[in-house]
Homo-oligomer: A and B are copies of this chain.
Amino acid sequence: MADLCRQTIFCDLASTLQDNTGYDQWVDGFRSILYYGRANRKMFFHIFFSDYRSSLMTALDEYSHNIIRKAIRRCADDSRISVSSETINFMSDFYYFVFIGVIRQDISTRFSSDPEQILAGCQVTMESSIQKSLMKFAAAGK
């Protein structure tokens, strides 16, 4: 049963998120994760409180990292900002830590916050920050 739940949630997330990988689409990708847990609350917490918690969290970690990494690469390409792969890695980690921190907090409060409010806050703090940071790294030759 746990195996089936796990397989389902991972497949669902994979198909929900596969198209949300453009620069501006990190918001949609992030939204998908926040809403997926809410729409599948019972199954989600069934897995979360089972032996498969670490598999679930690893999957969420990987999806989050994937979304944010592609968003940063897309932003650099679209704006023709040339930075090293180390900078892309550093920035991917930086925003990934935010993503996964917000998601873990959301899970720990049992999805009690308004997902749109979470997203709006993240957009304010992240939206122009990614491009500006890339430009600053590029100006410093990093």
Cα distance, A100 to B96, chains bound together (Å): 12
Cα distance, A53 to B97, chains bound together (Å): 20
Verify if A132 is at the interface (C-beta below 8 Å from B): yes
Tell me the nearest residue of chain B to A127, going by C-beta: B136
Is A105's CB under 8 angstroms from B93's CB?
A: yes
Is B136's CB under 8 angstroms from A91's CB?
A: no
Tally of this chain's copies: 2
Verify if A85 is at the interface (C-beta below 8 Å from B): no
In the complex, which residues 99-142 of chain A have their Cβ closer than 8 Å to any Cβ of chain B?
100-102, 105, 121-122, 124-125, 128-129, 132-133, 136-137, 140, 142
* Other-chain contact of A124, B96, B101, B102, B137 (Cβ < 8 Å): B137
* Other-chain contact of A94, B90, B121, B137 (Cβ < 8 Å): B121
Cα distance, A88 to B102, chains bound together (Å): 15
Query: 9 tightest CB-CB pairs across the interface, nearest first?
Result: A97-B101, A125-B133, A129-B129, A90-B121, A124-B136, A97-B98, A97-B97, A94-B125, A124-B133
Instruction: Please name 29 pairs of A and B residues whose Cβ atoms are closer than 8 Å in the assembled complex, sorted by A.
Output: A87-B121, A90-B121, A91-B125, A93-B101, A93-B102, A93-B105, A94-B101, A94-B102, A94-B121, A94-B122, A94-B125, A96-B101, A97-B97, A97-B102, A98-B98, A98-B101, A100-B101, A101-B101, A124-B133, A124-B136, A124-B137, A124-B140, A124-B142, A125-B129, A125-B133, A128-B132, A129-B129, A129-B132, A129-B133
